[in-house]
Amino acid sequence: MNIRLLAGLVALGLAVAGCGGATVDGTAGSSAPAGGSSASAGSAGTVKIAINPWVGYEASANVVAYLLENELGYDVELPEIKEQLAWEGFETGDVDVIIENWGHPDLKKQFIEDKKVAVEAGSTGNKGVIGWYIPKWMADEYPGITDYRNLNKYAELFRTSESGDQGQLLFGDPSYVSNEDALIRNLKLDYKVVVGGSEAALIKSAQQAQEQRQPLLFYFWDPHWLFSKTELVRVNLPPYTEGCDADPKKVACDYPEMDLDKIVSKRFADTGGKAYELVKNFSWTNEHQNAVADDMTNGGMTGEEAAKKWVEANPTVWQAWIPK
């Protein structure tokens, strides 16, 4: 019938017979990666790449998925699992690959060093930086607004029905990397974080703010296609110095520039074969990612179509990733 089912039942039987107790390690139960669903007879296996909710991530995931499927003959699942839950997915077997990881030193310590269920698989080649942004017209109109020390002076501009009598700092998805609350507290800013809930909410607000000259202060990040379409200016927080963000409660400095990297489950690194090699070799530039992300958001393409277009246009880039 079904290999995964058999594997599950056998593991259950063994566990009961052995009386050794049952552990949660993803080798049994619903999520053994090796079998694949019965639809995939003849496939090289199934790779589960977690999808985190921003389009740049999806661009990378879709390109890798496209190559895994079409060049190496794997099945790829793209489950919607947010950043930190995806790390837990390494343990339960729900996730094999996080294709774009933003720092997370605490999770690295916990899941890579302590639990040993995950390993690093190298840089994606992308440089990532998070920051606070305003539309360009505001920087032109209000002198000194890009300095955090002047933000309180202009707080009134940023008031909305959601932020009451404080200025609004618009945030994205609840799962994003965030020091916002600590920054507002520690820099004594008269602002309130209002959660837009998604990348799309941030983009829409940013575009409206620039086109209709509405005030907006918002959380955003580079690499992102939006920078080539809408003029945005970054607000200067106290500059990042090594270790200034060590204690999440006491952060009072800007975000660092991060080398975005790939994390895979230990099991996938050991048994993933060519799929693991491809993931490990995957490395491209911010421009590549932005091109695919732009096609997905504004070109009306699905992730697969956008990936196909990029793969066809850039054979020399990806051919270097394919394991020999």
Partner 1 sequence: MSSTAVSAAAGLRLPRWAVPAGAAVVIAAAYVVFRGTATLPHDDEAPQFLAVTELREWIDDHRNDNPLFLYFLNYIRLFVGALYTFFQGVLHALGWPGITGVMGALAWLAGGRRIALVAVAGVSTFGVLGLWESSVDTLALVGVAVLLSLAIGIPVGVWAGLSARVRRAVTPVLDVMQIMPTFAYLAPLALFFHIGAPAGAIATMIYAIPPAIRITALAVSEVSPTAVEASVSLGATRRQTLVKVYLPLARSTMALAVNQTIMMALSMVVIANLISAPGLGGDIIRGLSRAQVGIMLPAGVAVVVMAVVLDRMTMALVDRDPHARLRRLDLVAAGVPAAAGVALIPVLPQVWPESLTIDMVAEVNAAVAWAETNWYAVTTFVKDATSYALLNPLESLLTSAPWWLVALTVLLVAWRVSGLRRALTALACLLAIALLGVWEHTMQTMTTVAVAVLVALVIGLALGVAAARSPRFSAVQRPLLDAAQTMPAFVYLLPALALFGTTRFTAIFASVVYAVPPVVRLVEDGIRAVPAPVVEAAVSAGSTPGQLLWKVQLPMARPAILLAANQGIVMTLAMVVIGGLVGAGALGYDVVSGFSQRTDFGMGFVAGVATVLLGVMLDRITQGADRRPSPRKRKVT
Does residue 49 interact with partner 1 by CB under 8 A? no
**Which residue's CB is nearer to partner 1, number 51 or number 155?**
51
- Backbone φ and ψ for 8, nearest 5 degrees, come out as -65, -50
Which positions ≥6 away from 6 have C-beta within 8 Å?
A: none
> Residue with structure tokens 């009134």?
156
**Which residue's CB is nearer to partner 1, number 79 or number 323?**
79
- Backbone φ and ψ for 168, nearest 5 degrees, come out as -100, 130
Which positions ≥6 away from 11 have C-beta within 8 Å?
A: 27, 28, 29
**Which residue's CB is nearer to partner 1, number 30 or number 319?**
30
Query: 287-316: which residues touch partner 1 (CB under 8 A)?
Result: 300
**Which residue's CB is nearer to partner 1, number 168 or number 290?**
168
Its sign, for the CA torsion 161, 163, 168, 173, is negative
Query: 202-221: which residues touch partner 1 (CB under 8 A)?
Result: 204
- Residue 78: enclosing H or E segment and its boundaries? none
Task: Please tell me the count of residues contacting partner 1 according to CB under 8 A.
Answer: 59
Which positions ≥6 away from 43 have C-beta within 8 Å?
A: 36, 73, 74, 75
Which of 105, 249, 315, 316 forms a contact with partner 1 (CB under 8 A)? 249
- Residue 132: enclosing H or E segment and its boundaries? strand 118-135
Contact pattern from residue 68 through residue 107 relative to partner 1, giving x for each residue in contact according to CB under 8 A and a dash for the rest: -----------xxxxxxx--xx-xxxx-----------xx
What are the residues binding partner 1 (CB under 8 A)?
1-2, 4-5, 8-9, 11-12, 15, 21-25, 28-31, 37-39, 51, 53, 79-85, 88-89, 91-94, 106-107, 114-115, 161-162, 164, 173-175, 178, 181, 195-201, 204, 248-249, 300
